[in-house]
Amino acid sequence: MIRTHSELLAYIESLVLKRPDFFVTELISPKEKIIQQNKRYSYLYIIKSGIVKCYLSDENGKDFIQEFLSTGMEFGELEVFSEKPSFCCVESITKLEVFKISYTDFNKLLDTDTNFSRLILKAMAKKISYKAPRHSYQQSYPIEDNILKLQELYPGIDKIISKKDIASYMGVTMRSLNRALNTLKHKPVK
Amino acid sequence: MIRTHSELLAYIESLVLKRPDFFVTELISPKEKIIQQNKRYSYLYIIKSGIVKCYLSDENGKDFIQEFLSTGMEFGELEVFSEKPSFCCVESITKLEVFKISYTDFNKLLDTDTNFSRLILKAMAKKISYKAPRHSYQQSYPIEDNILKLQELYPGIDKIISKKDIASYMGVTMRSLNRALNTLKHKPVK
DNA sequence: CGCGTAATTGAAAAGTATCAACACTGGTGG
DNA sequence: CCACCAGTGTTGATACTTTTCAATTACGCG
């Protein structure tokens, strides 16, 4: 649920030393919108520490959280390739430390540094293989099953992420989430 | 819904001429399982012509279709990066013409051919930006809305894809799909 | 013709959303 | 210090949507 990629972070940190002109370090406070849907940007980000949520919001005001990203995860990179405006929002949950790099410099790195290019490919492959089973499971199983799975994989997640966000992540209303939690409490059958 | 990537196909075809030793052309008949979940492979595929479905099937036997792929789309490439067994099944719907390339040769190309590497990055970015809004929309809106959207984007899709598959793609039962179709027919309000 | 797969439909059961009321919390300002 | 407010979380009643199950029809093909 909260995704990380330590290998990428390590490599980025080594790059920052080699090419300090490419990267800007930034501190961001909680609840800040870093990327807004349908806007154009020219920078992408790699998280050094902290957690962001990455979500799509539709015209009805319903938000749907794609993933929670943490150390070593990049965001805003897809637009480099698609050349379209951002298709999702990114907002900090905790306070954040990020590396920022311009599309231009990112492209330079891709073209000249095979290791880097490889890591980005890997990062994107990870994003895809993560999304697919989640999407599938969420559609195929009732809420209770999804909660159980979440608790199993990420015990104590509710202390970090608000319930509202957990509900948005699961694609259900908070009412349904609460009911499911209650019935699980009262019949911890297995 | 049926995804294509002509730019990649064009480039692959030019590569086939330059490096005929890297590629094998194969003909595949309909309803063949090309890739099976949780198995390991050493080849990946690029579609020259025809349509495949790419789906996850869970222990309950429910299938969930990720995407329909056609000309220029690659599959089986994620496992090159993740180094894990395949996480989804791929099955031909129509008869198929594909290029096959081994992980080894694919890696060689990635390391030596910047244009190629770039196209693969782009292909993966496309896969991600396609999945996210779809997932979001499907969770947030009722079936009828999803049908309308589908009919708008791909009129006549029902002639190519079986209803069963359309239902699996939308993540609902066929019963629900049929009911939604009927109510749409009887009240074509707008 | 007969077989298997795909598609259709009804009725009951399960799951989820909507709406609305209310509790809890941590600021903020009087 | 208290009152107030906004954001977050909780809960009940009800309506709606979707699944499940099962029975039936339609279609393509040997």
Of residues B148 and A188, the one with the higher pLDDT is B148
**pTM of the prediction?**
0.90
Contacts across the A-B interface (CB distance below 8 Å): 106
Contact assignment for A128 to B132 by CB distance below 8 Å: no
How many Å apart are B162 CA and C6 C1'? 8
What pLDDT score was predicted for residue A188? 56
| Tokens 């008949």, residue located | B29
What pLDDT score was predicted for residue A186? 73
Alpha carbons A25 and A45: distance in angstroms, whole number: 10
* Range with lowest mean pLDDT among A31-35, B109-113, B150-154, B184-188: B184-188
Contact assignment for B140 to A62 by CB distance below 8 Å: yes
Q: Which two three-digit tokens encode residue B67?
A: 């995407």
Q: How far is CA A123 from CA A6, B147, B190, in A?
A: 11, 33, 43
Q: Which two three-digit tokens encode residue B95?
A: 């008869």
Among candidate residues B37, B65, B36, B38, the one with its CA nearest the CA of residue B51: B65
**Window 139-178 of chain A: CB closer than 7 A to strand D:** 162-164, 174-175, 178
Contact assignment for A171 to B140 by CB distance below 8 Å: yes
Catalogue all structural domains in chain B, each as residue range(s) with its CATH number. 2-130 (2.60.120.10), 141-184 (no CATH)
Residue B158: CA count within 13 A, CB half-sphere: 11
pLDDT over 90, % of chain B: 81
pLDDT of B160-182, one tens digit each? 899 999 999 999 999 999 999 99
Q: Which H helix or E strand runs over A54? A: strand A52-57
Alpha carbons B2 and A158: distance in angstroms, whole number: 38
* Range with lowest mean pLDDT among A66-70, A162-166, B88-92, B138-142: B138-142
- Which of A86, A109, A124, A134 is the mutation pick for testing B, counting most B CBs within 10 A? A124
pLDDT at residue B79 above 80?
yes
Secondary structure in 3-state letters for B12-81: HHHHHHHCCCCEEEEEECCCCEEECCCCCCCEEEEEEECCEEEEEECCCCCEEEEEEECCCCEECCHHHH
Packing angle, helices A6-18 and A114-140, rounded to 10: 150
pLDDT of B1-38, one tens digit each? 899 999 999 999 999 999 999 999 999 999 999 999 99
What pLDDT score was predicted for residue B190? 41
- Measure CB to CB from residue A121 to each of B84, B121, B133 and give the nearest one: B121
How many Å apart are B64 CA and D28 C1'? 26
| Tokens 């908070």, residue located | A174
**Window 54-83 of chain B: CB closer than 7 A to strand C:** none
Among candidate residues A130, A163, A126, A166, the one with its CA nearest the CA of residue A146: A166
pLDDT one digit per residue (tens) for chain A, 190 residues: 899 999 999 999 999 999 999 999 999 999 999 999 999 999 999 999 999 999 998 877 789 999 999 999 999 999 999 989 998 999 999 999 999 999 999 999 999 999 999 999 999 999 999 999 999 999 889 999 999 999 888 888 888 899 999 999 999 999 999 999 999 877 654 4
pLDDT of A48-86, one tens digit each? 999 999 999 887 778 999 999 999 999 999 999 998 999
pLDDT range class, residue B96, cuts 50, 70, 90: very high
How many Å apart are B153 CA and D8 C1'? 39
* B156 dihedral zone (left: phi>0; alpha: psi -120 to 50; beta): left
pLDDT at residue B131 above 60?
yes
Q: Which two three-digit tokens encode residue A73?
A: 């995860």
Residues of chain B neighbouring A88 (CB-CB closer than 8 A):
132
Q: Is any atom of nucleic acid chain C found less than 7 Å from the CB of residue B25?
A: no
Alpha carbons B14 and B129: distance in angstroms, whole number: 27
Average pLDDT score over chain B: 92
Q: Is any atom of nucleic acid chain C found less than 7 Å from the CB of residue B175?
A: yes
